[in-house]
A and B are shown apart, each in its own frame.
Chain A
Amino acid sequence: MREIRKILIANRGEIANRIIWTCKEMGIKTVAVFSEADREALHVRYADEALCIGPAASAVSYLNIPSIISAAEITNVDAIHPGYGFLAESATFAKICEDCNIKFIGPRPDVIAMMGDKVEARRTMTAAGVPILPGSPEPIESPEEARLLALEIGFPLIIKAAAGGGGRGMRIVREEAELASNLELAQTEALNAFKNGSVYIERYIERPRHIEIQVLADEHGNVIHLGERECTIQRRHQKLLEEAPSPAISKELRDQMGAVAVKACQEIGYSSAGTFEFLLDEDDSFYFMEMNTRIQVEHPVTEMVTLADIVRNQIRIATGEVVGYTQEEVQIVGHSIECRINAEDPVKFTPSPGKITAFNIPGGPGVRVDTAVYPGYVVPPYYDSMIAKLIVHARTRELAIARMSRALDMMVVEGIKTTIPLHQKIMADENFQKGNFSTKFMEEFKYEI
């Protein structure tokens, strides 16, 4: 067991504030670090101590390992909470903390490294019995190989350039008859675009949902899951809003997916909080995409329906305590939705930094706002654009949507543009209300503001 009396928060924005809240409740002292652009940030004001660690650019401030470790040493902290993003999934940073005898609040460095390497993660997960999207492990050598693999993988499938990315160098094949010609075309395109004609094939899910499972594991081998989050509403692979539980997940499916995640954690010796991301097909088959070895932006919806405090659990686990509840004790109560409020134009999504001249957050039953902004705050242009998370909780999904609509209407942010109007449109959308959507939702969503 180790005592944690003081924590340095190696992050900024709303998550830094979030960590401070729980630390205050636990009687733990906090140290905030900030870049020169964040002198007026809220987390700097609420922390017990604060230190400037560098200029505005993240590379020399929030990603500056020597600066952060030095700050941790001169303030004598017991632990560092990395939040999400920045150094949260840096195995190097976790290892350096260990070497400097500062407890890194998260899993061990070798586990972070393993899950951070996509190829390695897939291999490990397969060995642990986690379903992976069927695909060719190596680049395709011949049309005959492709044909044989396609029989195993099934249609539709997608041909992807090994050296490609960002949606380029991909061809969807829906029938065997189309395979050979598409393969040849894909290889030629890849060669022309990326100087590398290697291609893989993989099962293609037409209308997937993005479902993730929250896990909590201690350092003694106890692992539980806290249910799923529905994160399907995305734009260009960025989540816009999340909910728990998912309207598409039955209790049986939840138990099944949860059990898979728990077993995988036990196999790899996982500890602290983590999230397994899956793609869910329309026939309820699910496939591992990746694991995030940190707390996630959307953790509040899980907290609302399970009454858990995920940050608190991370800190307790870091002191060596056991998880403290059994799987049977985990109850999902009611429905929660979170909308990410970004400082962006709600139609063009162009960033809108600047001074917030008015800021009024909605209150009332079942409303939670996680934010780091305040009236008069100047949103800096150097970091991500999320300024607040608006979260609601109600007894049913229908009531939660009504509550979110009301809360969005009563949230006032002036001086900058925000995506509040977009969220209002989504809440009012018939398909959303029916729970009828896939990751294609935003592509197909027509709205005017």
Chain B
Amino acid sequence: MIKSLLSWSALSLYTAASIAALYYLLTKNERASRLMLTFVGCGLVLQFMSFGIHLAAFWAYPENRWFLPINNFFGALSYMGFALAAAFFTIEVRRRLGILGAFVLPMAALSLGLAVILADPELAPLAPKLRSYWLNIHPMVLMTSYAAFTNAFGVALALLIQERQIKSRKPTELCYRLPSLDELDALNGRLISITLPILVLGLVMGSVWAYQSTGRAWSWDAKETMSLITAGFYAEFLWLRYVSGKRGRIPVYVSMAGFACMLLTFFGAELCSGRHDFLGGK
């Protein structure tokens, strides 16, 4: 009861923060930006508390003790929302790019919203095949990389808008409010170049876990294949951007294709995945 109250409050705060961020982007009203930060901060605290309660209930099953409740959509999505908002807080705000909140915070709200409204926060003993210390590492590492990629996607959106503004030769007010093209480009590039190794690390850990439990490191199920394609797109982005020195929209489009694949990996592959079906709550 308290837990869902806390989750709902956190969701409302993230939504309010997204609205404040949008208002800040459109009007540059400083009070809206302060409101946005307050909402995000409070939302993070509430979500953390709600996580604590969820964890206590999850650990009430002795066989679940010390495992993180990230075994289903509810756990994964709420962690995504939390990590997204936290990453926004630590990366963009610290670089004085809080104005990007309008692009990042709605995704945090959406992620937590899906968890709270649609996903089933079922509490049950973990399936025996999941009872491994890898459960605390492999999905967490991947979810963290997803949250960082989602942040990068928000930055890439702003980058596309800014690039379009400048190319159009008719810049609007928005153009002067957004961070400069070079700043956005550097942030997008840096986020992806830091996050791709994390994604790859998560995949390697997954295959080690699989090898230990089933003897096969890689089985080409839908989720695994999709995640490999995701990594491929991001690697292609880094290649275009840093090795062949391409600028403008094309590398950004490639990084966005990577993001689309990431979403497919996360949501779509559930439907037809053999080894990773447990996230669906089965």
Binding between chains A and B:
no
Which residues does A use to contact B, with CB under 8 Å? none
